């Protein structure tokens, strides 16, 4: 009888909180321990080389340990946010261990020597002392990237729809796209300096080219792969060419379009760094080049982390936009 009941209930589900003991979030407790250990190592062990912001970094990790300790008791009352924290619990543990190992290998033992390697407090010191210049560079980079990326995906989308819909346009445009597409955008730098009046306009073109090519190719493929039965049904109901393009071809090709946008986002960031190194007065790419010339690698790593966080945030926003725009296709695709 008990076996039948167990079979009807299905396999036992793991706890939503992961490993738990007496209602506690165990991963949170372990994360608090690793972060507290990093704070103790930073406070108690002497630095081989004096670094700025050692005290603030130790205090920051100690505060992080306190936050994880408090969350260990209340995470099951935080709803969706609590479930997200529980999902990333092992990552918080590993992050504490990594910070501790990074601190010991650089600041405490000096096995990873200065200036090529910086301890975590070295990066924190950059954020505390050079935050104004970093904000200006983020603003300049955001302006350049925004102008290049959005103009690139807009032109790539329009061109891709035309390539996928019109055989005449595809006859002339597709060979040209196949010729330009494989060439890295940075290879066009000598031409852009001659064509455009300033390095800023040339940089916008390079970013637009890097982001627009994958959007155009995948949009054309998406429009070309639309089921012909959709067109036949729409024509039977009296649809004209404009309706077929706007209401049938484009919506059906949106999954391919978003794949192209994701690819264009990554390509645009890769080209952005190169473009800003070619005469820009500010920007994260310029900041990387400037500090590399002076062997200020802590500043270089700090800027790279900012760029990675910005790119990850933009990817997350694209996922949200994709899920909302393509929500109607659930159950169809």
Cα(31)–Cα(213) distance, integer angstroms: 44
Residue 71 lies in a domain: yes
pLDDT, residue 63, reads 96
If pLDDT is split at 50, 70 and 90, which confidence band does 296 have? confident
Confidence of residue 11 (pLDDT cuts 50, 70, 90): very low
Question: For the chain, what is the mean pLDDT?
Answer: 85
Q: Is 189 helix (H, G, I), strand (E, B) or coil?
A: helix
Same domain, 110 and 173: no
Of the residues 46, 81, 115, the one at which a domain ends:
115
- SS3 assignment, position 195: helix
* Higher pLDDT pick, 102 / 13: 102
pLDDT tens figures, 241-276: 788 888 888 888 888 899 999 999 988 888 888 888
Give 161's Cβ-side CA count (13 Å radius): 18
Predicted confidence (pLDDT) per residue in 187-210, tens digit: 787 787 778 878 888 888 889 999
Confirm whether 17 is domain-assigned: yes
Same domain, 151 and 32: no
pLDDT at 235: 80
226: left (phi over 0), alpha (psi -120 to 50) or beta: beta
Q: Are residues 152 and 7 in the same domain?
A: no
Separation between Cα atoms, residue 89 and residue 35, nearest integer Å: 13
Number of folded domains that form the chain: 2
Q: Is residue 125 part of a domain?
A: no
179 with 316, same domain?
A: yes
Per-residue pLDDT, 59: 95
Residues 141 and 243 in one domain: yes
pLDDT digits (tens, 9 = 90+) for 80-109: 888 999 999 999 999 999 999 999 999 998
149-171 average pLDDT score = 90
Residue 80 domain flag: yes
* Concatenated DSSP letters of 149-184: HHHHHHHHHHHHHHHHH-HHHHHHHHHHHHHHTTS-
Cβ distance 283 to 148 under 8 Å?
no
Report the CATH number at residue 302. Answer: 1.10.3720.10
Same domain, 164 and 74: no
User: Is 227 found in the same domain as 149?
Assistant: yes
Query: Residue 126: inside a domain, yes or no?
Result: no
Give the pLDDT mean for 314-325: 88
Whole-number Å distance between alpha carbons of 137 and 131: 10
One domain, residues 75 and 135:
no
Give the pLDDT mean for 110-115. 83
Domain limits at 23? 2-115
Beta bridge partners of 20: 25
Q: How far apart are CA 58 and CA 36, in angstroms?
A: 9
Question: Is residue 332 in a domain?
Answer: no
- Is residue 120 assigned to a domain? no
Final residue of a structural domain among 80, 115, 150: 115
> Do 268 and 163 have their domain in common?
yes
Whether residue 24 lies inside any domain: the answer is: yes
The answer on 155 and 94 residing in a single domain is no
Residues 225 and 143 reside in one and the same domain: yes
Are 196 and 249 part of one and the same domain?
yes
Q: Is the pLDDT reported for residue 68 higher than 80?
A: yes
- The pTM assigned to this predicted structure is 0.81
The domain boundary, picked from 115, 149, 174, lies at 115
**Which residues does residue 21 pair with via DSSP β-bridges, in sequence order?**
24
Per DSSP, what are the bridge partners of residue 25? 20
């Amino acid at each position: 009888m008990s076996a039948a009941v167990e079979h009807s209930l299905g396999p036992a589900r793991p706890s939503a909180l992961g490993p738990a003991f007496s209602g506690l979030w165990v991963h949170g407790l372990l994360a608090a321990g690793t972060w507290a250990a990093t704070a103790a190592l930073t406070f108690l062990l002497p630095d081989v080389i004096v670094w700025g912001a050692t005290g603030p970094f130790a205090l920051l990790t100690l505060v992080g340990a306190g936050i994880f300790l408090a969350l260990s008791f209340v995470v099951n009352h935080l709803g969706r946010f609590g479930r997200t924290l529980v999902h990333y619990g092992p990552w918080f543990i590993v992050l504490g261990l990594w910070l501790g190992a990074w601190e010991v290998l650089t600041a405490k033992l000096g096995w990873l020597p200065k200036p090529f390697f910086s301890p975590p407090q070295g990066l924190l010191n950059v954020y505390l002392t050079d935050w104004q210049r970093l904000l200006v560079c983020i603003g300049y980079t955001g302006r350049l990237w925004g102008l290049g990326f959005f103009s690139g995906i807009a032109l790539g989308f329009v061109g891709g729809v035309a390539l996928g819909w019109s055989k005449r346009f595809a006859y002339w445009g597709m060979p040209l796209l196949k010729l330009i597409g494989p060439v890295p955008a940075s290879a066009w730098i000598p031409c852009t300096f001659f064509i455009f009046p300033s390095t800023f306009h040339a940089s916008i073109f390079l970013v637009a080219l890097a982001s627009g090519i994958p959007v155009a190719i995948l949009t054309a493929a998406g429009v070309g792969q639309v089921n012909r039965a959709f067109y036949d049904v729409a024509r039977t109901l009296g649809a004209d060419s404009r309706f077929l393009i706007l209401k049938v071809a484009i919506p059906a090709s949106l999954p391919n379009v978003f794949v192209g946008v994701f690819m264009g986002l990554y390509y645009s960031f890769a080209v952005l760094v190169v473009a800003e190194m070619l005469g820009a007065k500010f920007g994260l790419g310029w900041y990387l080049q400037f500090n590399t010339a002076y062997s200020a690698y802590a500043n270089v790593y700090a800027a790279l982390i900012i760029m990675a966080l910005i790119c990850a945030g933009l990817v997350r926003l694209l996922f949200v936009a994709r899920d909302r725009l393509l929500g109607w296709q659930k159950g169809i695709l």
